[in-house]
Amino acid sequence: MIALNGSSLTVEQLLSIADRGEPVALSADARARVQASRAVVDRRARSEEPAYGINTGFGSFADVKIAPGELATLQLNLLRSHAAGLGDPLPARTVRATMALRANVLAKGFSGISVETLDALIALLNAGVHPYVPSRGSVGASGDLAPLAHLALVLIGEGEVLQPPATSHQPPIPGAEALKRAGLTPIRLGPKEGLALINGTQPSTAVLALALAGAEQLTRAADIAAALSIDALRGSIHPFEARIHEARAFEGQRVSAANIEQCMRGSGINASHEHCGKVQDAYSLRCAPQVHGAVRDALRFVRDTVLVEANSATDNPMVFAQSGDIVSCGNFHGAPIAIAADLLAAAIVPLATISERRTDRLVDPTLSGLPAFLTNDGGLRSGLMMAQVTAAAVASELKSLAHPAGVDTIPTSANKEDHVSMSMTAALKADRSVQRAREVIAIEILCACQAIDLLAPLATSPVLAKVHALVRSRVRTLTDDRAPAPDIVAITELIASGAVEDACDARVK
């Protein structure tokens, strides 16, 4: 059970909620803060003084006063009118992360939501009811309004819900039916509650947080892939000595170098060419720590941004219980998430492009000293020729995905929202980049393992031998030509599951 208090949610806890169904609860101190801010909203709703989103319209309708008897209808209409999303739905794990993030933000006590409504959101998450949330429709301005509106509709017994994973190919079911199946009751919204449910960056933050976790995992797999390739290409272990990387104080570089050196240590292949007289290896081999490390350092900034946003109030207006003030502001603007997501999408490209260069060296006999395209009887057989072509194609796609989304802005809401962040577009692009880059690393591992087989009876290191054995448990050695696509998919799944790094017995950080 993870207690949500609005201040201490971690990326690791978010992954537990998203992927392992870890239940959540509202902490006692958060419950008291929520109740205090709700009291402020209830008082203002009874007064004649205008307060945005409580007794006024929204966006360019902010100057329209709403009659006291229409305040609940105002919130209901907000959810219905803002559910304008399109495109493929967000996966259930992303919806779960979004729900947890929104609940955590509401727990800070700056939104004015009722405890009952917040409890209903948490109950929805714990019951495994995952709203159908279209992935397109947010410009990341007043938060991710459309995605959160689709999510919030289920709380009032409307909207749609994803089918359970076992029947995920089925169409979504009505929100009211999903609530009934889960033994939950639709809520009735009070003043400001619809606005409190949809004002925030939680969908784009959720997409980015999950992409970040995948990218961090991929840096570890990339270090392992590099070690396999460098060993198979009979590269030197010396460029990875700690003293070299201590002389350049980038933490990511130091970690990647240590990972590669640890993986290669004790290799019989490496020992066989220790005194071959070769002076230097190509950059894609000896500069791997510098490139991989720069990616790691960029991801550290992304992680810091995600952690801040996950535990920040992103409402408008903000409710300050201590003073009784209700203040309009712009904490919902997604610029921090957009910039971090764009950085992730750009940073992941060098990880893939340097991997593709190592793959190219593995299949090129003039550079590897191995059979062309890693197959015997070349000509009759084409071996892994097209695997490298696929890596090149995906690497090229990654370059196009690196174009930042956050540099764009299109005014919305009759120019009231005249500068927007495009944070959701940036986050979705970052997520796609991680998925594509994982495939490039998988192709390198496929080729490196084949190269190691061709070097027998020379043996790789004990650590890399375990990775090689893991790959061979899913992908057999290439003798006769076969379609490489299923092999690439299998290794991609091994990377995504964490099995590749687990095979190294905690040698890789």
pLDDT band at 415 (very low <50, low <70, confident <90, very high): confident
Per-residue confidence (pLDDT) for residue 180, from 0 to 100: 96
- The ranges of the chain annotated as CATH 1.20.200.10 are 209-502
pLDDT band at 166 (very low <50, low <70, confident <90, very high): low
Per-residue confidence (pLDDT) for residue 134, from 0 to 100: 96
Q: What is the pLDDT of residues 335-353, one digit of tens each?
A: 999 999 999 999 999 999 9
Q: Is 108 exposed, middle or buried (0-12, 13-18, 19+ CB in 10 A)?
A: buried
Q: What angle do CA 126, 130, 135 make, to 5 degrees?
A: 140
CA distance linking residue 214 with residue 368, whole number of Å: 31
User: CB under 8 Å to 202, separation ≥6 — which residues?
Assistant: 98, 101, 102, 105, 143, 144, 148, 314
Q: What is the pLDDT of residues 51-64, one digit of tens each?
A: 887 888 777 787 78
Across the range 65-78, mean pLDDT stands at: 86
Q: What angle do CA 27, 44, 72 make, to 5 degrees?
A: 80
Across the range 352-376, mean pLDDT stands at: 96
- The ranges of the chain annotated as CATH 1.10.275.10 are 2-200
The answer to which of 71-80, 354-363, 433-442, 487-496 has the lowest mean pLDDT is 71-80
Q: Which H or E run includes 32?
A: helix 28-45
The CATH homologous superfamily for domain 2-200 is: Fumarase/aspartase (N-terminal domain) (1.10.275.10)
Rounded to the nearest integer, the mean pLDDT of the chain is: 93
**3-class state of residue 111 by DSSP:** coil
**Percentage of residues in the chain having pLDDT higher than 90:** 81
CA distance linking residue 146 with residue 134, whole number of Å: 8
Q: What is the pLDDT of residues 263-310, one digit of tens each?
A: 999 998 888 777 666 768 899 999 999 999 999 999 999 999 999 999
| pLDDT at 436 > cutoff 80 | yes
Phi, psi of 58 (to 5 degrees): -115, 155
Across the range 387-394, mean pLDDT stands at: 98
Per-residue confidence (pLDDT) for residue 206, from 0 to 100: 98
Across the range 452-462, mean pLDDT stands at: 95
At the topology level, CATH places domain 209-502 in: Fumarase C; Chain A, domain 2 (1.20.200)
- Among 354, 382, 368, CA closest to 232: 368
**3-class state of residue 318 by DSSP:** strand
351 and 222 in contact (C-beta within 8 Å)?
Answer: yes
pLDDT band at 449 (very low <50, low <70, confident <90, very high): very high
Q: What is the pLDDT of residues 105-155, one digit of tens each?
A: 999 999 999 999 999 999 999 999 999 999 999 998 888 999 999 999 999
Per-residue confidence (pLDDT) for residue 275, from 0 to 100: 66
Residue pointed to by tokens 């071959």: 276
Catalytic residues: 52
